[in-house]
Amino acid sequence: MSQRKRSRGSGLTQGDDEDFSVVPTQSPSQVQRNLESRSQEEINRKVTELVQFLLVKDQKKIPIKRVDILKKVIREYKDVYSEIVNRAGRTLQQVFGLQMVEIDTKHHIYILTSTLPRVEGENLKQDIQTAKLGLLIVILSFIFMKGNSAKDSAVWEFLRRLRVQPGEKHEVFGDVKKLVTEEFVRQKYLEITPIPLTDPPEFNFQWGPRAAKETSKKDILSFVAKMQKKEPSFWISQYNEAKANA
């Protein structure tokens, strides 16, 4: 009974036997022994700190790196890391209806998503944040309708028609280029990759991992259909793709 079975899931929901052990050869009895050497109070304190840490980072939509969790919160409690994380996950679910989802399995990066059923017109912050999300949805829609990938020139041309231009300071979004190419990318909503051998350099716009987790092709297609006053099935290949993806 040496190693725990590694599960290959891409999400961590509490209760999953996700491989989180920092020391890969820890046996369950070893974990138990480590737990017993720490007081309940100490562990509870660490769980609370971790929950607060995750919430603060997520409010700013900053993806959370496991490396930072270990360095800034867990620290000398590394040996009971999995216990702390599991308990934090349960607390997040029980109190906030949130769960930790791994969006990068190689570098172990997480975001928090809501486990509550999605509802139309949910009143999140009605200000610059919702405006930014509106812009993002429009960009995600464009990318999806173009077959999941669009060139930067096409995206900017599309936005230009909506009077959103990278060169000008927008009255709501400010520096639009920075918002789209830096903020949305950092928040993992968009992925922008350079196209090799292009001069001047061109870029490919695609959905980022957070976009995939927070919305769906089905939702985006519904949005497009509503805007254009057509049925989603009007776009045959996108419709089939959205169905397959659901």
Partner 1 sequence: MAAQMSDAHRRFLQVLMSHGIMEGAEARKLHRRCCEISKVYYAQDKLDDFVSTINNQLQPLFMQIRKGMSEVDGRTHYALVNMAETEITKMASDYAENELELFRKTLDLIILSENGFASSTDILNSADQLKTKKMKKKEAEQVLKIFVDDKWLSERNGEYTLHTRCIMEMEQYILSTYPDIAKKCNICHSLAIQSQACETCGTGMHLPCIGKYFKTQSRPRCPQCNDFWPYEIPGTK
Query: Interface residues with partner 1 (CB under 8 A)?
Result: 44, 48, 51-53, 55-57, 59-60, 91, 94-98, 114, 116-117, 119, 122-125, 128-129
The minimum distance between CB 115 and partner 1, in angstroms, equals: 8
Dist CA 164 CA 172 (whole Å)? 10
Residue nearer to partner 1 on the CB measure, 54 or 155: 54
The minimum distance between CB 19 and partner 1, in angstroms, equals: 27
The minimum distance between CB 60 and partner 1, in angstroms, equals: 7
The minimum distance between CB 132 and partner 1, in angstroms, equals: 12
Dist CA 146 CA 58 (whole Å)? 30
Dist CA 142 CA 137 (whole Å)? 9
Residue with tokens 């464009």: 142
Q: Is the dihedral of CA 91, 108, 124, 60 positive or negative?
A: positive
3-state SS, residue 180:
helix
Residue nearer to partner 1 on the CB measure, 39 or 123: 123
Residue nearer to partner 1 on the CB measure, 127 or 199: 127
Residue nearer to partner 1 on the CB measure, 98 or 155: 98
Helices 128-145, 217-228: axis angle to 10 degrees equals 90
